[in-house]
Amino acid sequence: MLERIATDGYTKNEIKNSFQIFLLTLTGEINSYSFIDHIKYKEKLKNFEPVLWKANDYDKFIEEHYNWSEKVGSLNNAQYNRKYDKEFIELIEQPINEFYPIILSTSKEYNMESFVQNNCVRTYTDKPGSFIISVRKGDKDNKERATIEYQLQNVGKSAIGHEVFEDYLVFNRVQSLGKFNKKLGDEWNEVLEILDERIKSSLENGIFKLPEVEIKYGNKTYMTDLIFADRKEYYFHPNQGTDFFMQKRLVFGNDNLPKRSHTPNLNIVPDDLFF
């Protein structure tokens, strides 16, 4: 992996620093998705405002990660509004004891969540496959909350009973973090389990429907659906370099949208997952 980073324009110090942060993902102190996003931010910023990876411990990484997310956010002038089906919203946003799930739909809601949580969820507005739910403790406006990311994935053929589904969809909860991207305490376990069940039920019972998305670029407004298309998935193997394979991913279906920069999906895979 480090050889791959070096060829992409990292200095020797940046390689050392990124490796120190990578080690923290192995111990669970830093979420691996945050590490991956950090790589994406550096790539995205290099043609606008080149940045150096100076963070080499937890506190420095949190500060640098937030600063980079702010810079990336400033490049994103588009405004997004996901139009979810009413029945899906009603199911998901039912209170869970003293916890209140809120589906984030607009760029403003994403930005406010980032402000309260000091995280980079504001940069997720243009990620078609990511669905963000903010769970607030006590009441809907409480600042004590968790930011949850689910990803909708097409896992291909699947059989349930005697039925075979060509396009079998699943929701995976990939991030569930508190303020400053910190781990959640045990009091959140039951809440997350119930939320997972609701999300799963929404697919199994046909309640969830892919939202239309309204996107405003300057004075122009575009409507787009979400569709699955083949995309490359890149994997970093700590001792074996980079590999990729094709996988269906959600993308914006409107071909008339202005072209914007894109970085590939990046994943870190431990060696022991490969035989």
Lowest mean pLDDT among 8-12, 61-65, 112-116: 8-12
Question: For residue 268, what pLDDT is reported?
Answer: 36
Contact 109, 81 (CB under 8 A): no
Number of C-alpha atoms within 13 angstroms, CB side, residue 136?
Answer: 14
Given pLDDT bands bounded at 50, 70 and 90, which one contains residue 222?
Answer: very high
The token pair at 256 is: 């008339």
The secondary structure of residue 166, as a DSSP letter, is: S
* Segment 180-193, tens digit of pLDDT: 889 999 999 999 99
Question: Which domains are seen in the chain, by residue range?
Answer: 1-75 (no CATH), 79-213 (3.40.630)
CA distance 53 to 34: 14
Given pLDDT bands bounded at 50, 70 and 90, which one contains residue 229?
Answer: confident
For the chain, what is the mean pLDDT?
A: 83
* Segment 76-100, tens digit of pLDDT: 678 899 999 999 999 999 999 999 9
CA distance 25 to 247: 25
The secondary structure of residue 257, as a DSSP letter, is: S
* 89 Cβ neighbours under 8 A, 6+ residues apart: 103
**For residue 111, pLDDT beyond 50:** yes
Question: For residue 5, what pLDDT is reported?
Answer: 44
CA distance 223 to 215: 6
What average pLDDT does this structure show over 163-192? 87
What is the pairing mode between strands 226-237 and 265-268? Answer: parallel
CA distance 99 to 226: 30
Q: What percent of the chain has pLDDT over 90?
A: 51
CA-based Rg of the chain, rounded to a whole angstrom? 19
Tell me if residue 56 falls in helix, strand or coil.
Answer: coil
The token pair at 9 is: 């324009």
Tokens 């100076």 found at: 54
What average pLDDT does this structure show over 93-111? 95
The secondary structure of residue 79, as a DSSP letter, is: E
What average pLDDT does this structure show over 264-275? 34
Question: For residue 267, what pLDDT is reported?
Answer: 40
